[in-house]
Amino acid sequence: MPSIMETINIILDGLPTLLKGMGVTIEVTVISLILAMVIGLVLGVFSITKSKVLRMISTVFVDIIRGTPLLVQILFIYFGLPSVIDISLTAFSAGVIAITVNAAAYLVEIFRAGINSIDKGQMEAGRSLGFSYGQTMRLIILPQAIRRMIPAFVNQFIVSIKDTSLLSAIGLAELTLSGQSIYAANFHAFEILFAVGVLYFVIIYSLTLLSRWLERRLDVA
């Protein structure tokens, strides 16, 4: 059993590398989730329109992405795609694409359920005043729906943050891989993985606190 001082020193030695990895993890997550929210919203609205084609696009996307493991998607995008089409992706961009696409599929369902939870009289009231479908969505339905969606969004964001650890499989030096590279050299797996866990917890717990504050502020109905 190593002493407390030794443990702290091992962690402190590894900390600069870990914090760099944590930076990459946050960067991938933030970029991916912003993109995923946009795709999720668009496909979520597709999924409730009258157009069969748009509904089909949304359904097929959601079914394929939810029906396959994220690790396979990551490997497919990074190793699979460049072998048949002429693109070369960095581990970072492949990671962003994979996390974006995966999170978007789950966000589609959150948007769909959230929008559907708003009484249909709200759409009718908006349309009867003379607002278009798009205006009614933007001014009346979404502002109400998004408040209700916040807890589900936060849940998905947390899942996505943790999912980024799978990007270590394609050599992206995010938090998990940074940890692995340290204990591969110094063999202190216990201390380093403990520190890695703490850093993930810090990111996720900060997000949790932020969402609780946001929910209170918006007085979610």
Partner 1 sequence: MKMIEVNHLKKSFGKLEVLKDINMNVNEQEVVCVIGPSGSGKSTLLRCMNLLEEPTAGDIFIEGDKLTDSKTNINELRQRLGMVFQQFNLFPHMTVMENITLGPKRLKGKSQSEAKKIGTQLLEKVGLVDKGDVYPDKLSGGQKQRVAMARALAMEPHIMLFDEPTSALDPEMVGEVLQVMQNLAEEGMTMTIVTHEMGFAKEVADRVIFMDEGFIVEQGTPAELFDNPQNERTQAFLSKVL
Stretch that binds partner 1, among 11-19, 41-49, 135-143, 191-199 (CB under 8 A): 135-143
Q: Pick the binder of partner 1 from 12, 38, 60, 139 (CB under 8 A).
A: 139
Residue 17 interacts with partner 1 (CB under 8 A): yes or no: no
The residue (of 111 and 200) whose beta carbon lies closer to partner 1 is 111
The residue (of 55 and 127) whose beta carbon lies closer to partner 1 is 127
What's the closest the beta carbon of residue 135 comes to partner 1, in angstroms? 7
3-class secondary structure per residue, the chain:
CCCHHHHHHHHHHHHHHHHHHHHHHHHHHHHHHHHHHHHHHHHHHHCCCCCHHHHHHHHHHHHHHHCCCHHHHHHHHHHHHHHHCCCCCCHHHHHHHHHHHHHHHHHHHHHHHHHHCCCHHHHHHHHHHCCCHHHHHHHHHHHHHHHHHHHHHHHHHHHHHHHHHHHHHHCCCCHHHHHHHHHHHHCCHHHHHHHHHHHHHHHHHHHHHHHHHHHHHHCCC
The residue (of 64 and 125) whose beta carbon lies closer to partner 1 is 125
* Residue 144-173 contact track with partner 1, rule CB under 8 A, x = bound: x--x--------------------------
* Residue 112-131 contact track with partner 1, rule CB under 8 A, x = bound: -------x-xx-xxxxxxxx
Contact residues for partner 1, defined by CB under 8 A = 119, 121-122, 124-132, 135, 139-140, 143-144, 147, 221
